[in-house]
Structure 1
Amino acid sequence: MGGPIWAEPIHDLEFVQKVLSAVSGNPSRFGTSKRIKGILSMVTEELEDVPLYYTVENLSSAIHCNTPSLLQFCSALLHAGHKVSLSHACQTAIKTDAPPATIWDIMRGWEKANPVKREKLSKTSPAFKILSTEPSLDACFTVREDANPHSRKLHLNRFQENPQAFWGPKARAKSSGGISTDLQDKSKKFQNKRKNQTTDPSQLKTFPCKRFKQGLCTHGDTCRYSHDLEQTKEEKME
């Protein structure tokens, strides 16, 4: 890890509470009042004396196991006697005062309940080294009520949402000028546009039967495609 890092509280909670009061008292004043309220509510719930955070999916990826839910992981930390909170910086982030040894003991406990295939792990891999150590903590993943923060229970708009459907990088510029603003245009344009496609059953007799060529067609005269290979060759030449 590079440095230096700021290890002191990153929020002025007195100021945050004043902004929350202003937004709650006059929500129509701001177009983004719901998002302001959601993010600042998360800020008031964050641990002040923990500068960094873990993400549950990265912890799981390190030992190649499936991922516990946020509530399960937070509950395991609370059962172990540690403080824990979510973070406004990332949807799957967890802040805790638990030491790294406890974090990995909890992940080892999770892996015991959801085992990975040890034989597929390289003996020099971090996953093998981590899982080769027996946990000194008996992790409990029973979900606790206090593991779910108030802002999450209220379903506040805590993180930025896409402003519209198919939001993101658009299609490249067209040769005629301008760009496509609807990513569905392309799929509609080329839908069912396979080469030589036809929907008229009477026209299918102009196409040779591939299975007949291989000696595999069992439909005989009732086959929708032509078994007269010489005729179809002549029609194609015309």
Structure 2
Amino acid sequence: MYSLLGPQEPTSEKPYVGKFDVSIDLDPYGTAAPFVDAALQGINDGGLLCVTCTDAEVFASAGHLEKAFALYGGLPLKGPLSHEGGLRLILNGIAASARKYGLAIEPLLSLSIDFYARIFVRIHRSPVEVEFTSSNTMAVSTPKCEHCGFRPHLGGPMWAGPLHNPHLIQKILDMLPVIDRETYRTIGRMEGMLTTALEEDLDLVAFSKETTPNPSPSAADGWQQLSAIIPRTNPALRDHHPFFFCLNAIAKVLHTQTVPFGLFRGALRHLGYQSTRSHTKPNSIRTDAPWDVIWEIMREWVRQKAPIKEGTLSAGSAGAAIMQKSRDANKTPQDDPWLSLLKREIGEALESGQDIRDLTTKIEAALYRTSSAYRLLTKVASELNPSVDNEGGSSDINNIDCGEGTQADDTPTGAPVAKVHPNTLNIVFDEALGSRASASSSCKKIMRYQVNPRAYWGPMSRASGA
């Protein structure tokens, strides 16, 4: 597993100080933080550092904030995000130790498994790449929630870059079919977890699945040839959509039934947003949709599919504040712009009409102007967004999705885009559309999340010396 650079036997009285060329694996009981500095100084440029931390009660909970800050240099997150936050805390701690020695890290695979974290990083000696560390560090701050008004939370600093190298994951998945299942009895779980990790990145570009032939480097070539096995990721790359939310967690806020995974993804895709899942939590959604769209989908789920009884949500609760913004609660006649325009036109006709004939003429003119304007704008809307139709089969200007970043074809680049109120979005729960949003590997029956083998599964007490 290990190889050393330099002579295998010391040539003088001085102790041997060669560096590991292939990998150093840290797997202590508890945290690996005290051993990271020594491991970084003992590994060669391009070498692999493997880190295991079994102290999930520290890096993935809010019960030991001071301990987590002392070990990993940041505060953990609370709730379903805690395990991904723990992975990013550990990576940030490794990056902080590495940059002191002019070393940069490249995460190859970062997994939260059962009660521990398993991380593989490639080490690069590059002072230039060390400068990217600051841009790949983030402090996670949730501002005061505009939907429910609850207080903010703070976490980090933690790693803001990608958690995985997709080339490595794909090469491992390509090797699994030819591996002896009698020797490796957890191949099913490995395939499920690696597939889920591969699909986590929303910005992932399709890359070639061709297997790379194993080079047989000479001793002089060293790691330079070996590093070509796994292509390098961009050191300045950031994860633009970190973290996720759990469907059961947001359903609990509204005291309603949990939206099925496929239906929720179908609703997101119908609005033009991407979505995937996280390997750290079942029933999780990672998406580029903003929170006002997510809560509007949940309000429509309550209105269309799973109504809640009156009085279920107590006054002052987060769920009550969110449901107050539903389209049923805010729907008044004054909300329809065409009705408001018609009322104004008729009001002016009543004030200026001299007799019945004049009043009739003015009202007919008002009706004609309003209907003509509506038809014109509806025609323009259908030309700009022909894919959005109402139930009658014709385009409805009130249901056009002008999500963030969406522009008409004739809109100049960089021009401001009007943001439509979430209540005007056309929410459709289409499970078939949600299944088409998945990658081809998602159609396979794989074990993405494994049930614990027994009750109270987790780290046991430290072994005694007896």
TM-score, structure 1 normalization: 0.64
Distance between the aligned counterparts of 1:27 and 1:69, measured in 2?
Answer: 36
What is residue 121 of structure 1 aligned with on the other side? 313
Alpha carbons 1:47, 1:96 under 8 Å: kept: no
1:27 positional shift: 4.1
What is residue 444 of structure 2 aligned with on the other side? 154
Aligned: 1:139 with 2:292: no
1:24 positional shift: 2.4
Alpha carbons 1:71, 1:148 under 8 Å: kept: no
Distance between the aligned counterparts of 1:17 and 1:102, measured in 2?
Answer: 33
Alpha carbons 2:176, 2:187 under 8 Å: kept: yes
The alignment yields a C-alpha RMSD, in angstroms, of: 2.0
Alpha carbons 2:193, 2:448 under 8 Å: kept: yes
Alpha carbons 1:109, 1:138 under 8 Å: kept: no
1:84 aligned to which of 243, 261, 275: 275
1:32-57: CA deviation from partner (whole Å, max 9, x where unpaired)? 11111111111222225421011000
1:105 aligned to which of 275, 293, 296: 296
Distance between the aligned counterparts of 2:256 and 2:179, measured in 1?
Answer: 47
The one-letter code matched in structure 1 to 2:450 is Q
1:100 positional shift: 0.8
What is residue 55 of structure 1 aligned with on the other side? 246
What is residue 68 of structure 1 aligned with on the other side? 259
What is residue 62 of structure 2 aligned with on the other side? none
1:150 positional shift: 3.9
What is residue 168 of structure 1 aligned with on the other side? 455
Aligned: 1:20 with 2:173: yes
Aligned residue pairs: how many? 167
Q: Identity, % of aligned pairs?
A: 31
Larger radius of gyration: 1
Distance between the aligned counterparts of 1:81 and 1:89, measured in 2?
Answer: 25
The one of the two structures with greater contact order (alpha-carbon pairs below 8 A, sep at least 6) is: 1
The one-letter code matched in structure 2 to 1:138 is N
> In 2 relative to 1, CA 150–104 (structure 1 residues): closer, same or farther, beyond 3 Å?
same
> In 2 relative to 1, CA 169–96 (structure 1 residues): closer, same or farther, beyond 3 Å?
closer
1:149 positional shift: 4.5
1:138 positional shift: 2.5
After the TM superposition, which parts of structure 1 deviate over 4 Å for at least 4 consecutive aligned residues?
none
The one-letter code matched in structure 1 to 2:318 is P
Distance between the aligned counterparts of 1:27 and 1:79, measured in 2?
Answer: 43
Distance between the aligned counterparts of 2:312 and 2:450, measured in 1?
Answer: 39
Distance between the aligned counterparts of 1:148 and 1:124, measured in 2?
Answer: 38
Alpha carbons 1:105, 1:136 under 8 Å: kept: no
The one-letter code matched in structure 2 to 1:33 is I
Distance between the aligned counterparts of 1:3 and 1:58, measured in 2?
Answer: 22
1:81-113: CA deviation from partner (whole Å, max 9, x where unpaired)? 000001111111110000111110111110111
Aligned: 1:5 with 2:197: no
What is residue 38 of structure 1 aligned with on the other side? 192
Distance between the aligned counterparts of 2:277 and 2:177, measured in 1?
Answer: 22
Distance between the aligned counterparts of 2:314 and 2:279, measured in 1?
Answer: 36
1:23 positional shift: 2.0
SS of residue matched to 1:87: coil
SS of residue matched to 1:91: coil
Alpha carbons 2:254, 2:313 under 8 Å: kept: no
What is residue 175 of structure 1 aligned with on the other side? none
Residue ranges of structure 1 left out of the alignment (5+ in a row): 171-238
Distance between the aligned counterparts of 1:5 and 1:105, measured in 2?
Answer: 30
1:161 positional shift: 3.2
What is residue 234 of structure 1 aligned with on the other side? none
